[in-house]
Chain A
Amino acid sequence: MSGDIAKARDILKDQASLESVAAQVLQLAKAQGATAAEAALSEESGLSINVRLGEVETIEFNKDKGIGVTVYFDKRKGTASTADFSTSALEDAVRAACSIAKFTAEDPYAGLADADRMATEIPDLDLYYPWDVSPETAIELAKECEDAARSFDPQISNSEGASLSSHEGTRVYANSHGFMGGYSTSRHSMSCSVIAEDENGMQRDYWYSVARDRRDLEAAAEIGKKTAARTLQRLGGRRIDTCKVPVLFAADVAGSLVSHMISAIRGGNLYRKSSFLLDKLGEQIFPEFVHIHERPHMKKVLGSAPYDSEGVATYARDLVRDGVLQGYVLDSYSARKLGMASTGNSGGVHNVLIEPGAHDQQGLLREMGTGLLVTELLGMGVNTVTGDYSRGAAGFWVENGELAYPVDEITIASNLSDMFMQLQAVGNDVDHRGNIKCGSLLIDAMTVAGT
């Protein structure tokens, strides 16, 4: 069992009380005549503090809980949620869900995930490292972080502050197949954002660290220094002429390209025919050197989960092997609509890894020679139906493998299908913070719009 013993005991008690609420709700649904039902409950508490210019700005104490219940009357479905766990509120919620199910249409694909797919063992994935941090300690750490950023260089002229947040919670899922599972998780993060100014105006950037275990957070001063360095680098940003050039996506923004792929192979987008990767299973969507894995059971990692939000056991698999799409991202409903089986992805993917290549970002810059390094993306100009891609960007112009000058107020555009096939290299500078763990990605050519 992870974490310290005293806290762990509390959390077991919390889990037991959530489980008893879940059982009560399933019982209420049955009493109302539901043929099947499921309930998802969560309880979370935490602290967020923000320090700005050396002074506390906000202290927020978070404490949230909630339950969502879905009932089925054969093939009719209704859902309700509440944050009130009193018996009368639970009865109201179940009644509301049942009332909705009287009106929704019979849907041949509706229902719980298949009983034989329920997780039978729930591995301890080492996700719970509570941190009983006092506001005073949190404030000291955030001050240290911001101080390191502000004292880094005289051109750091202002600050949006440094934040520390620490949250822990317990979730339980139960359904009328008899599945009842629960586990606790923790999440701690520290972030910083400062402003640098020169005669051309102000620039802002940020950096953050996030972990299950506070001991895995980057040191406060390191986060501050990195924030300052990133911000200073952006000073003097200028526009460039409209052109077509190779583009290197820095690791911390490259994951977004993979998330667009994930979105396009999600069951809901496939059965709605709203995807540029429709019917691409078994086909080449990346060059042969690209391998993408899903690893839901990585110990102590943020994206890990023993089962998905329908109780289906999660499992390690390849999404892309040798550039060929190996599987979709399906929950039980979309799987049934597509005549396939759930992939344990109700609620999303769990730890997507792009196999790193041989070079770090420096190496990829040399490989690119001349082009654009993108370090920030702005806006939502991604069309999942067509794959058309057009987003605001900032970064650096690169000549002979070296950063020449910062660039901003430009857009980059192409089509995701083309961008994937034109992938030249994957970096080994993997950003491990997010659910998608990806190094820098070099794309052969994109249209850059500027002056």
Chain B
Amino acid sequence: MNIPIDSSIDNVQQLMLAPSGLELNNLEQVLSSIMCHDVDYADLYFQASRFESWTLEDGIVTDGVHSVEQGVGARAVSGEKSGFAYSDEIALPALQDAALAARAIARQGQDKRVQTWSRTEGHSLYLPTDPLASLGDRAKIDLLELLDREARKLDPRVKQVTASLAGGYDVVLLAATDGTHAADVRPLVRLNVSVIVEQDGRREQGSSGGGCRRDYQYFIDEERGLGYAKEAVRQALVNLEAEEAPAGTMQVVLGSGWPGVLLHEAIGHGLEGDFNRKGTSAFSGRVGERVGSDLCTVVDDGTLAHRRGSLNIDDEGMPSENTVLIEKGVLKGYMQDKLNARLMGVASTGNGRRESYAHLPMPRMTNTYMLPGQHAPEEIIASVDNGLYAVNFGGGQVDITSGKFVFSASEAYMIENGKVTYPVKGATLIGNGPDVLQRVTMVGDDLALDAGVGTCGKEGQSVPVGVGQPTLLIDGLTVGGTSV
């Protein structure tokens, strides 16, 4: 399949449906056949994707992978129930079969009508570009080889370099019984560099990367790719010097940018509509209550141009939004998809997302971050007598019911008497979601978003997301080091 030259509905529809002779009125018939059961809502989600990745190790690009995927998912919603079936064939018989299977969720009922099509005007946050074609294959390899050479040149202790370049695009088309008729073309690229350094028999790793909804030129512009290589080497060398991390509860300063994974785990998941409708989140029923200090304002913003977590429309055809989750410490609302919004009597916030046509949508984050405060980062560090300064993290996890969350530092330092002293080994930090923002006592003026590498997993589905925050001081968080 070739990339459409624009992401207009007509163009996407032509591309997706024309090869099998499908037309909009076929989709209407299929949706109508679902609505003859006692169904409140039904939708069809068409998707076509192309993806590639190139991997370098031991100085050479040894592997390249190219994949294509396409299909259509049919969903029927009745009350709290969802029926779902999909097919990797985009053709009328397959579509009809999927619709029949999906509507089995509901009893035969009175006919309801598919509402008149209403085209969604999505955002124009990114261009409908084909990243794969943005750089010749030779140039992709040259870029990876350059990063390998440069990383090794930076320090003789660099023993291994692994780098990967990945890119692709999703074309989606939506038709729903509420009249939704929408399309999007979503490019996504990513570059990662990971190094192993060795000194006196001790080995440590460092890794860095970035990505966005643009094409590969992004990594060449401003020498961003080289920047990732340098950053990976710097982190690995810091870790060579790292001493045992402390164990226990202490003041923790979190750096700006990627450490915003704290918000994603501690707060974000607990504010997704599905858990709150079911009353299974530690934040359930707490809208209007104080859940953070008045320094804390947290948003989920899918409308940032070119960001990894951004969407022109969500996977239910709703334009993404900038949703205030917590304002000056007070819980304002949840992130919603159509099903949970309807059941909770609120509007969708454009957070309905799915991994692919073969997955059911649910409320998911886009780019989640905290707005900046008043303090310079240096002031925040200077205020700490004895604590941890964590600037880089791996992943995290949360138990949304108990509110307990963890996230693992990959680069951290001790703060002693207001000064950053020595690096310590990575350690897991653990806290309680509804409690942690109440302990935020200083917020920096240095809001940064991450470099574009986040992937969020929920119920087995992965979607790209962004996180961000300014430097924060948390007055008491448990640090899981080994040194008692």
Contact = CB atoms under 8 A, between A and B. Distances in A.
Interface of A: 52, 55-65, 77-84, 89, 92-93, 96-97, 99-107, 110, 135, 158, 160, 195, 201-204, 234, 237, 239, 242-244, 272-274, 278, 378-381, 383, 385-386, 388, 390-392, 394, 408-415, 447-451
Nearest to B236: A385
Nearest to B106: A56
A77 B66 CA distance: 12
B430 A392 contact: yes
Given A79-B63, A273-B160, A59 B105 contact: yes
Interface stretch (B184-192, B286-294, B392-400): B392-400
Contact of B61 (A93, A103, A239, A413): A103
B63 A55 contact: no
A378 B248 contact: no
A133 B15 CA distance: 38
B61 A59 contact: no
B427 A413 contact: yes
A92 B204 CA distance: 42
Given A105-B61, A414-B482, A158 B66 contact: no
B336 interface: no
Nearest to B82: A58
Given A100-B64, A202-B402, A274-B196, A413 B430 contact: no
Contact of B481 (A81, A237, A390, A392): A390
Contacts of B102: 61
A272 B431 CA distance: 34
A381 B397 CA distance: 10
Nearest to B159: A273
A55 B428 CA distance: 39
- A110, A135, A381, A394 interface centre (most CB from chain B within 10 Å): A381
A380 B397 contact: yes
Nearest to A60: B84
A57 B396 CA distance: 28
7 contacts: A81-B66, A93-B66, A93-B68, A103-B137, A273-B203, A378-B404, A447-B481
B309 to A, nearest CB: 20
Interface string B86-100: 111000000000100
Nearest to A102: B137
B85 interface: yes
A195 B401 contact: yes
Contacts of A56: 81, 105
Contacts of A449: 247-249, 430, 478-481
Contacts of B397: 378-380, 392
Mostly helix, strand, loop or mixed at chain A's interface? strand
B263 to A, nearest CB: 16
Given A202-B280, A381-B480, A447-B247, 6 more contacts: A84-B70, A273-B159, A390-B480, A409-B478, A411-B406, A449-B480
B374 interface: no
Interface in B378-428: 394-397, 399, 401-408, 425-428
Contact of A408 (B60, B80, B360, B404): B404
Contacts of B138: 103
B282 interface: yes
Contacts of A78: 63-64, 66
B71 A83 contact: yes
Interface residues of B, number: 77
Nearest to A278: B203
A19 B334 CA distance: 50
Contacts of A158: 278-280
A122 to B, nearest CB: 28
A274 B80 contact: no
A25 B265 CA distance: 44
A201 B282 contact: yes
Contact of A392 (B71, B104, B105, B406): B406
A107 B57 CA distance: 11
A201 B249 contact: no
B141 A103 contact: yes
A96 B62 CA distance: 16
B84 A83 contact: no
A413 B480 contact: yes
A58 B84 contact: yes
Contact of B408 (A101, A379, A385): A379
A158 B71 CA distance: 36
Contacts of A378: 397, 399, 404-406, 430
Contact of A64 (B63, B88, B399, B426): B88
Contacts of B196: 272-274, 385
Contacts of A84: 68, 70, 88
Contacts, number: 251
B404 A392 contact: yes
Contacts of B405: 378, 392
A387 to B, nearest CB: 10
Contacts of B407: 379
A83 B203 CA distance: 41
B80 A411 contact: no
B233 interface: no
B406 A381 contact: yes
Contacts of B64: 77-79, 100-101, 103-104
Given A58-B83, A59-B84, A158-B278, A379 B482 contact: no
Contacts of B427: 381, 390, 411, 413
A83 B88 CA distance: 7
A101 B54 CA distance: 11
A30 to B, nearest CB: 19
Nearest to B359: A60
Given A80-B65, A272-B160, A386-B204, A450 B483 contact: no
Contacts of A412: 480
B484 interface: yes
Contact of B428 (A97, A107, A204, A390): A390
A383 to B, nearest CB: 6
B69 A274 contact: no
A204 B399 contact: yes
A410 B88 contact: no
B77 to A, nearest CB: 10
B319 to A, nearest CB: 26
Nearest to B83: A59
Nearest to A76: B62
B198 interface: yes
B245 interface: yes
Nearest to B141: A103
A239 B140 CA distance: 51
B205 interface: yes
Contacts of B396: 379-380
B432 interface: yes
Nearest to B432: A409
B428 A381 contact: yes
Nearest to A59: B83
Given A79-B66, A378-B430, A392-B404, A160 B278 contact: yes
A135 B104 contact: yes
A447 B482 contact: yes
Contacts of B68: 81-84, 89, 92-93
- B204, B402, B478 interface centre (most CB from chain A within 10 Å): B402
B132 to A, nearest CB: 10
B67 interface: yes
A293 to B, nearest CB: 29
10 pairs of A and B residues whose beta carbons are closest in the complex:
A411-B480, A392-B406, A379-B406, A105-B60, A100-B64, A381-B428, A204-B401, A449-B247, A381-B408, A61-B85
B171 interface: no
A383 B102 CA distance: 44
Interface in B344-382: 358, 360
Contacts of B312: none
A311 B431 CA distance: 47
- B63, B196, B405, B407 interface centre (most CB from chain A within 10 Å): B63
Contacts of A135: 104
Interface in B449-484: 478-484
Contacts of A58: 81-84, 105, 360
